[in-house]
Structure 1
């Protein structure tokens, strides 16, 4: 007796009418952080054209592919996953069989070519942001002849294992206690404004750039994604002298330090280290991993930044970019 025939794969471009099905898959996925929910993806639709895709088998949504292109992109034939995020790509409802993943990607490639795309620029979801990581997409990329065209270095702490804070960082923590630095989580708009002011000044002075998000954008994202954004600040008296804005996802199991900054006074008294130590103390109850973010710019290492993160016990993980001619 023959078995049932496999259900045909159907691929289609994302449309707003798919939002509920999309969000349900991301919420139950093994590798789709909250940033892939439509409430987050759609906030910058004025800058990026959504070019995401859905993979169906029968009436069942099996996977989605997070992608887009900048509205000012000179090369409209390049599909980027994702131009407005640090990563994108294939998200599966559960831990999919490798054979299914490869078949879905083959079907997507046919659809991309039919839509006029000639190149894929893919930044897969790093392992630290996945509930159950899988390298099936990387295997497919290798099979198709994709090139590794970018590699950045992230710093990650396994919160389920003991970790040791280094001597220099412990010295800063003693300094913070001596000066009476107080650390707290806050949702007050005034605290967000104070932190954004010192963060903007810090980034401009150190790197000559501004935060990726504006203050109104980050407050809107906080309100539209409750529980996923938290601001932790360090105070001297009533003054905010440092802080860390985290992105977090309980289901996927990670906390990520999206923005870190301190005022000149805050740096003198170890304010940022005090905040990071408090995160390491409080987060293991609900999260398994803490991501400190990358310490590289276009592959070039920032040794001082990396040293600070490794001083808290972080290990190195790569975040990669692949280019595939379609």
Structure 2
């Protein structure tokens, strides 16, 4: 029996989430409770692929006119696959999807791939098939992450300052309340430095924390009861990501931000994580297309460079 493709509906909520929990290339961001916190902003067009009435793959997506995106409200996406699935099966699935989409009026398919270090096992089938079907590489992002399989390679200058600042009596706290960091550090810093605001409002991040208390965490660093910096963590099974990070001007002078980062890198290494991701450094306001200062900072904290690709496939 061939693979069949259908659109996700709210009736599929539990089936979808059960599949996401076991997929080999998934994170909690693909849980419907995460995807739907901003459902008012996107026309959901997520796909489910079945064989003999058994769900074999899902694709989080949203539609804009005649274009399907592998969801623009998420950092990454693509076809989420069950463990131990063979390449030929994935090939048949993608063929079924590409046959299904034009019937729905879709003329272009854009996919933002999942960085390789998020996968429980290799999951390159879709990338190969997109290239094989003639998809063009629309853009490549640099993603920085610490690989715990290797000894930490934090720059000696940062380690020296960290050791010196250990006498400062900094206090690091994990908090369930994001308001202090959002209101006193993150929002003012983004506004003054970049004239922007966080992707998530305070209300949204608090809502997501309530839905995913084991995955979304806030760490703040204080000196004499004054908050100096904070880092918001998105924690997955194998990977920890610093989703937000910011410091006050006082924290910058005291190098509290680096101190907090180094503390968390070592903290999650001790918890058996495989990677500590610091996200991308892409920034179109720079001539190079990325922020060189931010790149240097993340490299000096021990990050290696990984690639995240966006592919675009014309269907008509």
Q: TM-score range by the shorter chain?
A: over 0.9
* 1:196-235 to 2 correspondences below 5 Å: 196-197=182-183, 198-235=185-222
Residues 154 and 318, structure 1, Cα contact 8 Å, conserved in 2 = yes
Task: Determine the C-alpha separation between the residues in 1 that align with 2:179 and 2:108.
Answer: 41
1:4 counterpart residue number: none
* 1:74-93 to 2 correspondences below 5 Å: 76-93=65-82
Residues 24 and 123, structure 2, Cα contact 8 Å, conserved in 1 = no
1:162-190 CA distance string (max 9 Å, x none): 11210231243135323322222221x2x
Does the alignment pair 1:107 with 2:96?
Answer: yes
The answer for unaligned runs of 5 or more in structure 1 is: 1-6
Does the alignment pair 1:248 with 2:242?
Answer: no
2:152 counterpart residue number: 163
TM-score (norm 2): 0.95
The answer for unaligned runs of 5 or more in structure 2 is: none
Task: Determine the C-alpha separation between the residues in 1 that align with 2:165 and 2:116.
Answer: 33
2:133 counterpart residue number: 144
Q: SS at 1:297's partner residue?
A: coil
2:254 counterpart residue number: 269
1:5-24 CA distance string (max 9 Å, x none): xx321110000111111001
Task: Determine the C-alpha separation between the residues in 2 that align with 1:95 and 1:215.
Answer: 40
Does the alignment pair 1:19 with 2:13?
Answer: yes
Shift of 1:238: 1.6
- Runs of 4+ in structure 1 displaced over 3 angstroms? none
Q: SS at 2:134's partner residue?
A: coil
Shift of 1:161: 2.1
Q: Aligned pair count?
A: 310
Residues 29 and 35, structure 2, Cα contact 8 Å, conserved in 1 = yes
- Aligned-residue CA RMSD in angstroms? 1.3
Task: Determine the C-alpha separation between the residues in 2 that align with 1:64 and 1:136.
Answer: 14
Task: Determine the C-alpha separation between the residues in 2 that align with 1:11 and 1:60.
Answer: 11
TM-score (norm 1): 0.92
Shift of 1:243: 0.8
- The farther-off stretch of 294-303 and 42-51 is 294-303
Q: SS at 1:291's partner residue?
A: strand
Task: Determine the C-alpha separation between the residues in 1 that align with 2:169 and 2:289.
Answer: 37
